[in-house]
Amino acid sequence: MTIFFKKAERKNAKLRLAIAGPTGAGKTFGALLLAKGIGGRIAVVDTENSSAELYDDIVPFEHANLQPPYSPEKFIEAIKAAEKAGFDTLIIDSITHEWSGVGGCLEIVDTLASGPFKGNSWGAWSKVTPRHRKFIDAMLQSSINIIVTLRSKMETIQTNDNGKKKVEKVGMKAEQRDGIEYEFTTVLDLTHNNIAISTKDRTRLFAEPRPLSENDGVLLKQWLTSGSANTCLNGNQFLELEALMQQAGIDIDNYCSKRGLNSLHDVQQQKFDETCAAINSIIQRNQQANQENEQQLQAEQEARLDNDYQMALADIQKAQSVNDLDKPANYFRGSKYETQILNACQAKSDMEGWTA
């Protein structure tokens, strides 16, 4: 496969932002302020006993209370529902439950390990990790802005001080799978006094620790839309285009190579509708051609059956014994001529006196 290099160019994007913090740090409040600044319709998926609704005075939003079990599939379903409903920003408060909540990944592993895997937790993880990965992919590939919150807890380590074991605090740790921060554009840790400190920030908007505000959402919106308009496909568009091409029988590698693309991910978003329309036309032409071929084949089969029927009638008249009637009777069984053939066989048998 040929690899193509192009001038680097930041594209318009959708937000992937995580806010982590302990209880009372203002995670939900901060997420709503950011969403308000970004603008548009806001949806909140709430695993915190509808606590988000306490902030309905901040900004109008629509709310869905998520109940246990907190399986990865339930979160995926919520993301898809928000996309389908046309929301601009989805807040998931919080994704900690997908990991360590009731019916979350850790509990699923324990259940599998104590059941079919007979204590083999590694085997159980082989089933759960792909499910968790699909949840992550659903966030990354979403066509809307996504802000998530995560609970944090104090992380400690055991040290040895002159032979004495001590437990030392080493900071806050988000309650989710290790490495979750790699999946987001920006990760903010909130302190007990509501100060946001960026631990990862590709936008470079949160260099200075500060309380989150609506203006931060405005700045995020400006950054998200300040790239090139030639945005590449989002995850859902990629999957849709890939499925259409497979249905149309298009060689994807050849398609990309002819257009200087490394993959379908490089297709520009502004070309998406046009490309899909063209492929749908190919699919329709293929379907029409297949239908015409099927009709022609059916007509040929009908003509062949009609001819065979006439020949069978002649063979029945020439039959020398009752056994000669078995072949036409069996051949036309289940066809439109079955009754006529059986009647002809019976008439021949009666005429020759073969009927018992």
Supply the DSSP string of 131-183, one letter for each residue.
HHHHHHHHHHT-SSEEEEEEEEEEEEEEEEETTEEEEEEEEEEESSSTTGGGG
Residue at which a domain ends, from 202, 224, 246: 224
Residue at which a domain ends, from 204, 224, 244: 224
263 and 179 part of one domain:
no
**Distance between CA atoms of residues 80 and 34, nearest Å:** 21
46 and 120 part of one domain:
yes
pLDDT given for residue 155 in this prediction:
66
pLDDT given for residue 102 in this prediction:
95
pLDDT given for residue 264 in this prediction:
84
The verdict on residue 41 lying in a domain is: yes
Nearest 5°: phi and psi at 326? -65, -40
CATH number at residue 95: 3.40.50.300
**Chain length of the chain:** 356
214 and 247 part of one domain:
no
The verdict on residue 208 lying in a domain is: yes
For strands 145-161 and 164-174, give the pairing.
antiparallel
44 and 107 part of one domain:
yes
242 and 191 part of one domain:
no
The verdict on residue 293 lying in a domain is: no
**Distance between CA atoms of residues 300 and 303, nearest Å:** 5
192 and 84 part of one domain:
yes
317 and 277 part of one domain:
no
pLDDT given for residue 272 in this prediction:
86
pLDDT given for residue 157 in this prediction:
61
81 and 144 part of one domain:
yes
Q: Which domain holds residue 85?
A: 16-224
Residue at which a domain ends, from 262, 287, 312: 287
176 and 45 part of one domain:
yes
The verdict on residue 2 lying in a domain is: no
94 and 35 part of one domain:
yes
Specify the number of domains making up the chain. Answer: 3
Alpha helices for the chain (secondary structure H): 27-38, 72-85, 96-100, 105-114, 121-140, 214-224, 235-248, 252-258, 272-318, 326-331, 338-352
The verdict on residue 152 lying in a domain is: yes
Question: Among residues 172, 201, 190, which one has the least CA distance to residue 17?
Answer: 201
Residues of the chain with pLDDT under 70: 1-2, 154-159, 166-171, 229-230, 355-356
Q: For residue 29, what are its two tokens?
A: 């409040």
The verdict on residue 168 lying in a domain is: yes
The verdict on residue 178 lying in a domain is: yes
For strands 16-21 and 145-161, give the pairing.
parallel
182 and 202 part of one domain:
yes
The verdict on residue 3 lying in a domain is: no
343 and 207 part of one domain:
no
